[in-house]
A and B are shown apart, each in its own frame.
Chain A
Amino acid sequence: MTRSTDLDGIAPDDLSVRSDNEIIDQNPIAPPTIPHTELQDDTFRKILGHTLHPLSSTIIDPDFFDFSEREDNEKIYVVLRPHWFTNVSWILIAILMILAPMILGILKINSPLPAKFTFILVLFWYLATFAFTLEKFISWYFDIFMVTNTRVIDIDIHNLLDRKFSEAQINRIQNTSYHVSGVFHTIFNYGSVIIETAGENPDIVFENIASPGKIIKLLQNLCEKNAPTNK
């Protein structure tokens, strides 16, 4: 289920050149700015659907959301988090961890330690369960992929001590593709979006995104809107 779309034709990667061949931007770092309009919001909503709640894995045109590296004129179009189904495994583990002491009690498996030791260990167990749940939720909540009017941003958090920030300017996107593989991925329609950029920058891969095909379509749409400013 891999689909690849070559955007090189609509998003040339190097210099921005006017139709009369006059170079208007020689700085590859300076990002182009796509003027934000209500029409764009409608287009994105048409592609991605509507946001239902703040914990949704797809938030379009967020009112409240912000990030520290945002530039003054930068407009956030879409915020994405991993698909909700990726949380099911740790939620089940957390439920089992909560139930484990009760199950041991029901099975009448008593601790060989004195009651006060058992009490402390049970407290410790529930605290560890809470920490596990909190850490997993934080890892999901702050694992963000953003599309703005100038760039795409990927913030990966694998655990509390492992964080990665990567970005690509919209006008440097050369190729986008997605990969949906696996039973649950196919049933719930989530997978990886791969964004190849010009130059030596590594590809940006955003994993476990809901409706990756629609994200590709959105990026194509943005690149098309960006194209006239480069020609």
Chain B
Amino acid sequence: MLPQINNLTGAVFVFIKVFIFVGAVIYLIFASIIVKQAKTFSKNIRDKFNSLIITAAYAHLIAAAVLVFLVLIIL
């Protein structure tokens, strides 16, 4: 019984790994959309904090890319 439980557990973890990886990739796409939108809005409306918003959007995109990398490395 134990090997079967271990296999089942292994299958569950593989499923979770794939789930997290797909989630991280989708999140990376979402982060790139935020960058695109922040740039578009900043182009249409120019104000003092635009550069800060674009910087934050890029930082978020980089963090999302790092997350995908970490999912591949750690899990």
Contact = CB atoms under 8 A, between A and B. Distances in A.
Interface of A: 54-55, 62, 64-69, 113-114, 116-117, 119-121, 123-124, 127-128, 130-131, 134-135, 137-138, 141-142, 144, 155, 157, 160-161, 163
B75 A120 contact: yes
Q: Which secondary structure dominates chain B's binding surface?
A: helix
Given A113-B16, A116-B75, A131 B60 contact: yes
Determine which residue in A64, A116, A141 has the highest number of CB atoms from chain B within 10 A of its CB, and name it.
A141
B31 A64 contact: no
8 contacts: A66-B47, A67-B44, A116-B75, A120-B67, A127-B67, A131-B31, A134-B60, A142-B41
Contacts, number: 84
The contact size tier of chain B is: 20 to 34
A131 B27 CA distance: 10
B34 A160 contact: yes
Contact of B27 (A113, A127, A134, A157): A127
B23 interface: yes
A155 B42 CA distance: 13
Nearest to A59: B47
